[in-house]
């Protein structure tokens, strides 16, 4: 997902370019936005943490770009491409190092496992949109 800070700053195109340059195929993509209810559900695993309410408010503050990306070792390679959660610690040349505004407003989200990638993809896309047959 390209988060609201990066979409608002006009960085979606540059970020998509980095994804494609790193070998990710775009399987599905849409510009949409999350209500606070849906943002809360998306980040439910962090419920109760001190940053949860702020995160939900931020994630529902404006449009986001949801994507399903395809690649060998996609989960791990995507996390390498985006860099550490906190842009201060992110490697040079990573998406977060280049585009994140802060620890919270960190430009992109990446799934942390193949299992969560499947759950999160179906949060945004139908089987038809993901070109899956069942």
The residue ranges that bind ligand ATP (CB under 6 A) are 46, 51, 55, 85, 103-104, 106, 109-110, 112
**Residue 85 interacting partner from Mg ion, ligand ATP, none (CB closer than 5 to 8 Å by kind):** ligand ATP
Residue number, 77 or 112, with CB nearest to Mg ion? 112
Instruction: With beta carbons less than 8 A apart as the criterion, state whether 62 and 4 touch.
Output: yes
d(CA 114, CA 33): 24
Which entry of ligand ATP, Mg ion, none binds 55, CB below 5 to 8 A by partner kind?
ligand ATP
Exactly one of 82, 90, 109, 125 is catalytic; which is it? 109
**Choice between 51 and 123, CB closer to ligand ATP:** 51
How many CB atoms are closer than 10 A to CB 49?
A: 11
> Rounded to whole angstroms, how far apart are CA atoms 122 and 24?
19
Write down the least CB distance from residue 112 to Mg ion, Å: 5
Write down the least CB distance from residue 79 to Mg ion, Å. Answer: 9
Give yes or no: 46 in active site: no
Closer residue to ligand ATP (CB): 35 or 86: 86
Residues that bind Mg ion (CB under 5 A): 112
Helical segments of the chain, H only: 4-8, 12-21, 36-42, 52-59, 74-82, 95-99, 114-124
Contact 131, 28 (CB under 8 A): yes
Q: Is the dihedral of CA 26, 12, 101, 53 positive or negative?
A: negative
Shortest Cβ 77–Mg ion spacing (Å): 16
Q: Which residues are catalytic?
A: 109
């Amino acid at each position: 997902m390209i988060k609201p800070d990066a979409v608002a700053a006009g960085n979606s195109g540059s970020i998509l370019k980095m994804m494609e340059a790193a070998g990710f195929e775009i399987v599905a993509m849409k510009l949409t936005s999350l209500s606070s209810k849906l943002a809360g559900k998306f980040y439910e695993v962090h419920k109760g943490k001190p940053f949860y309410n702020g995160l939900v408010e931020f994630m529902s503050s404006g449009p986001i770009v949801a994507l399903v990306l395809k690649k060998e070792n996609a989960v791990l390679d995507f996390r390498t491409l985006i860099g550490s959660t906190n842009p201060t610690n992110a490697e040079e040349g990573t998406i977060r190092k280049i585009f994140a505004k802060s620890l919270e407003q960190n430009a992109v989200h990446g799934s942390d496992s193949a299992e969560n990638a499947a759950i999160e993809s179906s949060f945004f896309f139908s089987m038809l949109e993901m070109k899956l047959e069942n």
